[in-house]
A = this chain, B = another copy of it.
Amino acid sequence: MKLKIIVPITSDEFNEEVKREIKHYVDPDDYVDVENLDYGPASIECEYDEAMAVPDILNKVKKAQEEGFEGIVIDCFGDPGVHAARELVDIPVCGGFEPPMQIVLGLGQNIGVITVLPNVVPMLHDLVAKMGIEKRVKSIRYVNIPVLDLGDKQKLEDALFKESLEAIQKENVHVIVLGCTGMMGVARNLMNRLKEKGYDVPVIDPAFAAVRMVKTYVRMGLKHSRLTYMIPPVKLYTWWEK
């Protein structure tokens, strides 16, 4: 299976780690290409950043289909440009939000999300409302660490552990979704630490979930409905010099 992973930021800070991690998510005969944006924000931490990332994401999405990729992951928990991307192409496209939420719906009753900064919490509530699963999501918390500082894994894991405990103990959360695709490589440790504390709960890595979900769509021969994601009417677009 030939998969394209779009890391929708101009910073290349995560590239090597993403490539390394992705290997654990895919199967031996998968071909995976990881690509950054040429135009857009260094990281996505608010709706303004997301808006500035989307045009080049959509360029990359169109190109991926032309180049014969069978599925696309837009590797960001805010699902930037996912709806528009599905309008543009006939291959499955997943962002980082929908897939972990889909997967977690079968693992426990009360969902808790832990993201990076307070700035994105209202946007995540909007995504939950659009997905129509408000009744299942009991908590959206944040570790207050900017995206580009997520490299300090110990600090990240400790902060996630603290917030997970609060979510479980104070907000009756039964399952944890990591709320940023930059939170790579910590889910398993976090799950173990929570289990030692007496809480045997799943912790979902959103990038892992996104890759597996897009692979599931390809494997099942499914793509998005053209009644929800209709083909854009033809028209003139004016754009900056390229």
Contacts and interface: CB of A to CB of B under 8 A. Distances in A.
A130 B227 CA distance: 20
A9 to B, nearest CB: 9
Nearest to A134: B135
A238 B118 contact: no
Interface in A64-109: 81, 83-84, 87-88, 94, 98-99, 101-103, 105-109
Contacts of A50: 84
Nearest to A201: B225
Contacts of A197: none
Contact of A238 (B38, B126, B221): B38
Interface in A211-242: 212-213, 216-217, 219-230, 232-233, 235-242
Given A237-B40, A237-B41, A174 B227 contact: yes
A150 interface: no
Contact of A227 (B106, B199, B226, B228): B199
A141 to B, nearest CB: 11
A134 B11 CA distance: 39
Interface in A14-64: 27, 37-43, 45-52, 54-55, 58
A230 B58 contact: no
Given A223-B202, A225-B174, A131 B105 contact: yes
A84 to B, nearest CB: 4
B107 A42 contact: no
A39 B227 contact: no
B119 A47 contact: no
B238 A241 contact: no
Contact of A46 (B42, B221, B232): B232
Given A119-B232, A200-B226, 20 more contacts: A39-B239, A39-B240, A45-B235, A46-B87, A46-B232, A48-B58, A50-B84, A54-B54, A83-B123, A87-B119, A98-B106, A102-B105, A103-B217, A103-B222, A107-B223, A122-B228, A129-B132, A146-B233, A174-B225, A240-B241
6 contacts: A40-B238, A103-B222, A106-B224, A107-B228, A122-B174, A200-B227
